[in-house]
Structure 1
Amino acid sequence: MVLLLTLIFLLSFSIFYSLSMLAFNQVKTVDKLKHFDEEYVELNSGVKKEKLNFIKSLSKLIPDFKFNGRIREYVELELIRADLPLTYNELVVIKILISLITGLTLYLLTKNVIIAISLSFSSWSLPTLFMLKRKIDRIKRFDSQLSEAIVIVSNSLKAGYSFLQAVSVVGEQVKEPLGKEFKRLLKEMSLGLSEQEAFYNLQRRVTSEDLNLLINAILIQKDIGGNLAEILDNITETIRERQKIKNELKTLTAQGKLTGAIISLLPLFLGVVIYLFNREYIMLLFTTKIGLAMVIFSFIFELIGIFMIMKIINVEL
């Protein structure tokens, strides 16, 4: 018992320490572009060795298989979209550690192998859910800043600035995440990428419909000509109207989302309550064939119900 508790404590501390090191000390790819800036002066001429932390060390033990190449590329792109300084292997290591800690902790608390293993497998997807939630929140913040950025670009063009200078102004005046993405866009174009390639990379990093509208308008204007400032003013009005409609839809569908969340969590809540008051009664679901069949079918129908509710409340513009 003492050995297991010590192991859980060491694993928890290792994850917390490693995530802290990744968040504050890891050099991101976009930051390496500063070595190509004219104003950048490297203080130390010697090559600095990156400090290997616990998760990085474990990630090197995971082999790179050829059959999961597309999955690896997709996950790494999602990590970039979520602005998480992690690699695919490091994410896998975090998932493994969280699953082990969850399984060991639940086994010590319940002494039930089935519950410990099932919830351990369930916790495997927690880092992925966190990544998706962070990506969605980042896109929402980006969309909320986009109208302001377009106005700055339009006013800069009217004042006689070039397009690159206008992008630089946006990168300096607008906060993250939009300011950071525009700085990266400016660096890519300054390093020799064409505007089309740089905008394509921006579209891959930020999956925003409003951004796609802006980029398409800019590229079309580059081909056929026209007053870019006037085009940007019209796009600003369109984006503001779209965001206004989205906010109205959120208000109208808020009750449906709350209902779906309550219905989804109600079986879990009742299961925990019954387990606390009558453990032998609820354990029949996990110790008998009929009970396991009921759990499986209820889980499937629960997913179907959640899917139907999400289809009803999600309105595409």
Structure 2
Amino acid sequence: MTSNTLIFLALVGLAVVFLSLAMFVPVTQPKLNRSALLKRRLAALEVENRAQQQVSIYRTKRLDALSPLLRRLETSGLLERVAFALELAGSRLYAYQLVLLVVVVSLLLAVLSWWLWHGWFMVLMALLLPALAVHFKLKRNYYQRLSLYEQQLPEALDIMKRGLQAGYSFADTIKLISEQMPNPLGREFALVFADINYRKDIRKAMTGLLERVPSVSNMALISAVQVQRETGGNLVENIDKLTVIIRDRFKFNRQLKTLSAEGRMSGWILVLLPFALFAVMYVTTPDYITELVTTKEGRQLLIYGGIAMMLGIWWISHIIKIEV
């Protein structure tokens, strides 16, 4: 192969890379902007709540049911963050229970890995695997809960609008929503109503809701309530407009998922194809699989292939995920 051919192929490769970047940057840019906005808002809320030493009503009630030793353990620095992640995911486990379960499972897997492979790398992977699995499970539950919350929010705003038109106070409409709406929205608004009754401060109760459910729709609702309470205005009209916007945004997200279904299916095929080929090779030529599993070189290839697959799955998930 001549040098001119190599230069030509290198230029073609660079063109493909730059074209890919030009295609993906406009798609991912709104996600970065929105995430930065939510992170800045939540960081400000965290500083404010820490300064005022606020603890949620739900959290206080759960801590009161523990013994003094377990309560001290549950409110320690690391476990406090784990407890907040469990609360966001809708789990009723205590943080110390989850951490103890992860530690026990990790140790059992590490012992089993050492007994099977006698390799420190596999032992390390066995120690990290349960924590990673729990992390992704909590994250998945949190996103499912957040999606269901945003799906229920327009109906809850309709109830709030009718309640305000009927002469109910804002706190009474919050209670009405908590009684008529299913979880997770009903539970969140019940916590807001409890916070209002306990602290007599609607602003702190609503900012606590945004901290627990950090979504753009929630931020718009809380901003409308804050502006109306501080400067006046027609809250019913603002809620009516906000309901239309949230419904249109939800409809657009559904259409976007439909249009991007082909890309997600292609991603699943790319992820599952190595496992399908492994099964076909095991049925047709089992000697190859035996050589791959029993020899040292084969196990190293499996380890390197697993690492490469994890990186590939991470990259594919970021390519096919479009967030607006």
Q: Which residue of 2 aligns with 1:224?
A: 231
* Partners of 1:107 and 1:116 within 8 A in 2: yes
2:242 to 235, 247, 257: 235
Residue in 1 that maps onto 2:291 = 281
Q: How much has 1:204 moved relative to structure 2?
A: 1.3
Q: 2:206 aligns with which of 199, 205, 221?
A: 199
Q: Distance in 2 between the 1:248 and 1:63 partners?
A: 43
- Return the structure number with greater relative CO, CA threshold 8 A, min gap 6: 2
Choose from 87, 99, 103 the match for 2:106.
Answer: 99
Give the letter for the 1:30 counterpart.
Y
> For 1:1-317, what aligned pairs fall within 5 Å after superposition?
30=58, 69=77, 71-102=78-109, 111-114=116-119, 117=123, 118-119=125-126, 121-271=128-278, 277-278=286-287, 279-283=289-293, 287-288=296-297, 292=300, 294-295=301-302, 297-317=304-324
Matched AA of 2:262: Q
The answer to whether the 8 A contact 2:74-2:80 is kept is: no
Shift of 1:157: 0.3
Query: 2:221 is aligned with what amino acid?
Result: L
Q: Aligned letter for 1:232? A: I
Q: Which runs of 5+ in 1 are unaligned?
A: 1-27, 35-47
Paired residue for 1:39?
none
> Does the CA-based 8 Å contact 2:114-2:122 persist in structure 1?
yes
Task: Please report how far the alpha carbon of residue 217 of structure 1 lies from its aligned counterpart in structure 2 after TM superposition.
Answer: 1.4
Cα deviations across residues 202-256 of structure 1 (Å, max 9, x unaligned)?
Answer: 1111122211111111111211111101100000000000000100111112222
* 153 and 64 in structure 1: CA distance in 2 versus 1, 3 angstrom threshold: closer
Query: Once the two structures are aligned, what percentage of the paired residues are identical?
Result: 27
**TM-aligned CA deviation for residue 264 of structure 1:** 1.9
CA distance in 1, matches of 2:132, 2:139: 11
Letter in 2 for 1:241: D
Query: Residues 171 and 104 (structure 1 numbering): CA distance in 2 closer, same or farther, change over 3 Å?
Result: same
Normalised to the residue count of structure 1, the TM-score between the two structures is: 0.70
Partner letter of residue 292 of structure 2? I
| Match of residue 4 from structure 1 | none
| Matching residue's letter, 2:293 | M
1:129–1:251 CA distance, 2 compared to 1 (3 A): same
Alpha-carbon shift at residue 270 of structure 1 (Å): 4.1
Q: Residues 102 and 297 of structure 1: is their aligned pair in 2 closer, same or farther, counting only changes over 3 Å?
A: closer
Q: What is the Cα deviation at residue 298 of structure 1?
A: 3.5
Partners of 1:197 and 1:312 in 2: CA distance? 38
Out of 197-206 and 235-244, give the one that drifted further: 197-206
- Once residues 222 and 159 of structure 1 are traced to their aligned partners in structure 2, the CA distance between those partners, rounded to angstroms, is 19
Return the alpha-carbon distance in structure 2 between the equivalents of residues 124 and 280 of structure 1: 31
CA distance in 2, matches of 1:236, 1:165: 19
Q: For the residues of structure 1 that align with 2:321 and 2:89, how far apart are their CA atoms?
A: 22
Query: How far apart are residue 271 of structure 1 and its match?
Result: 4.5
Query: Cα offset for 1:201?
Result: 1.1
| CA deviation map 1:41-99 (0-9, x unaligned) | xxxxxxx986x9xxxx9x89x8998xxx3x54433221110121233332221112333
> CA–CA distance in 2 between the matches of 1:49 and 1:249?
45
Question: CA 1:106/1:249 → structure 2, altered by over 3 Å: closer, same or farther?
Answer: same
RMSD: 3.5
TM-score (norm 2): 0.69
> Quick one: distance in 2 between partners of 1:315 and 1:64?
37
Deviations 1:267-313 (A, max 9, x none): 345446657834531126x713x863x45554454344333322332
| Matched-pair contact (CA < 8 Å) for 2:74–2:95 | no
- Residues 266 and 98 (structure 1 numbering): CA distance in 2 closer, same or farther, change over 3 Å? farther
Q: Distance in 1 between matches of 2:229 and 2:122?
A: 59
- Once residues 113 and 60 of structure 2 are traced to their aligned partners in structure 1, the CA distance between those partners, rounded to angstroms, is 43
Structure 2 residue matching 1:175: 3-state secondary structure: coil
Give the direction of change, closer, same or farther, for the CA distance of 1:191–1:123 in structure 2 (3 Å limit): closer
Structure with greater proportional helix content: 2
Alpha-carbon shift at residue 171 of structure 1 (Å)? 0.6
